[in-house]
A and B are shown apart, each in its own frame.
Chain A
Amino acid sequence: MALPIKYNIRNVLVRKGTTLATATSIGITVAVFLMVMALARGIDLTLQSSGEPLNLIVLREGATAELVSDIDQAKFDTVKFLDGVATANGEPLAAAEAITLLYRPRKGQSQGANVTIRGTGPQSTALRSGFRIDRGRAFQPGLAEAIVSQRIADRFQALDVGDRFKIQNSEFTIVGVFDAGGKAFESEIWVDINALKNATNRPTYSSVLLRVSDAAALSTVAARIAEDQRLQLKATPEVKWYEDQGGATSGTIKGLGVFIAAIMAVGAGFAGMNTMYAAVANRTKEIGTLRVLGFGRLSILLSFVLESVTIAVIGAAIGIVLALPLNFVSTGTNNFTTFSEIAFNFRVTWDLMVAALLFGAGIGLFGSLLPSIRASRFAIVDALREN
């Protein structure tokens, strides 16, 4: 039987100062880990919620992003009248859209980032749920007017109602601010598709967004588009399209986060190891006594491992508390697929907190192993001689 847990907890409490110092170093590591993971989770959740389950996004075959895709009017007319495409008031629920980028400095910084400008058609809002104008009004079709998302207005300089920006030689006026329920296109500026085509002298579209009539039609319509050799287009369910974008961006951030956290964890692990070596040195005689009473080597080893893990879990809890205020804080980063800003919220979710707790416990385990093995291997007679 192992030593009672109260033995370890009280020993941890007796050494308040060292316990707190070690726990804090583990806590900071866990906080960094959790913050980076919350960043990646925010991107994932934003992109995962962005796709509509019955929407297909159509791009030129081989194009990996709307920015490098190209669809002419004839192809748009072909795909929007395919069987399986949903209609509303007799009109196909389909929107041909075009993308361009606007470089803009961020608020409070001289450096900036690319913001996606989307040229949208009459059906674009009907194809996306959760869209609403928060302030101002919608743009007038055909005019050089724009609406921006609240997040973009918050994060970039001079992108609010009344501000103006240029696309090539055309000056657009921002007339409204929209909200999109936290979805990916909340990182965009929307203008009328024809106004954008005029400004960029571009006759074609970047993508076509289609609503299909039911789930089965997702694959049949996609197959029809793929099979038509004249089109040279590829249709992807919008949900999958955004998930894949999320994987590319958040995967890189997660990798970076794990790398940084791993380096910090080694440092924190050694701090834990130092603490536990000191604990073992201070309690050598106690260890000898416990062995005389009949506690075996394994009980001693487990006891010190448990003590270290207890300190680490306290540290992980500190880390979680440090990271929690970031939950739902708005931020943005570069979307590695669209090469433009994606705005999202940090999301400190339950599963991430559990992962952070396990990560912290892992650091404690790493730090405890060598000192605990040392404690369990003392010769009883030698241990009893220690003061």
Chain B
Amino acid sequence: MEVSLPLTFAAGLLWGAVAFTIVGALTAGLVLAERKVSARIQGRVGPMHTGPHGALQTIADMIKLVMKEDVRPARADATAFRLGPLLVAVPAVLSLAVIPFGAPLVMRDLNVGVLYFLAIPGVTVIGLLLAGWASYDNYSFLGGLRSSAQFISYEIPRSLTVVTVVMLAGSLSTVDVLEAQRSVPYVVLLPFSFFLYCVTSLAEINRLPFDMPEAESELVAGYHTEYSGFRWALFFLAEYAGFFAAAAFGAVLFLGGGSGPLLPPVVWLAVKTAVLLFIGMWIRFTLPRFRADQLMRLAWKVFLPASLVNLVLAALIMRAVGS
């Protein structure tokens, strides 16, 4: 069969643009939600003036960001400075590809989907390191180094934790993991795994109480201190896409994804993801930030052994119970 190559690539480009637009809209929604939730927690009202109850505030902010001047420090390494935000934003969007959103929105049932989801954010670290280094600025550099160290440290317990889910489901495909949870969601069978997944995910996506890489009080804004305008917006997009992906993936792995009575799967997945997102925001505005050394000690001396014990215990229990 003859395939029209230009047409296929045009379709590919179009889908890429659609994906980025959806993620952009998602980011806008999440930023607004975060500001409203934080306002509620701190007894404020949050943005109120743009649109009804400030609903259009983030849209306005985004327009402002895109129109801003793109400033690059004179001594920055131009190539690395431009490459950094791209290497951060693209993997964040790519990681959404294997999340089974339900009937109309299954993008790719990769038979190693779970592994893919854990692997892709690794590329982000390269972008963070590059951005921090290319800025030629101590705050950025320290932020970049801190974030990569943190990412590498928390990646291990996080992956080990997800292994328990894979063992129970007997497959690396996200769709199979959903199928296996038809009767009982894994949060019931693996409560400790769920807890470990949530905590290590918060660390991996650099959110409070683990946001050392961009601790405002000591590093100004970490690796994106020198960035402005659209490139800065890309970092922001990546951060919220990562937040969303971690929550949606948690809902798929532990909360049974789109399964639920009456409503279509997409709605159920959205509800479960929203709950996890809300918990993430709640934690952000409730707990203080850890110190860098405390953070690393926590990763290597608490979470790594805990995830190993969790893995062995889960294996033993599975063996004892049968299947």
Our verdict on whether A and B bind, yes or no, reads no
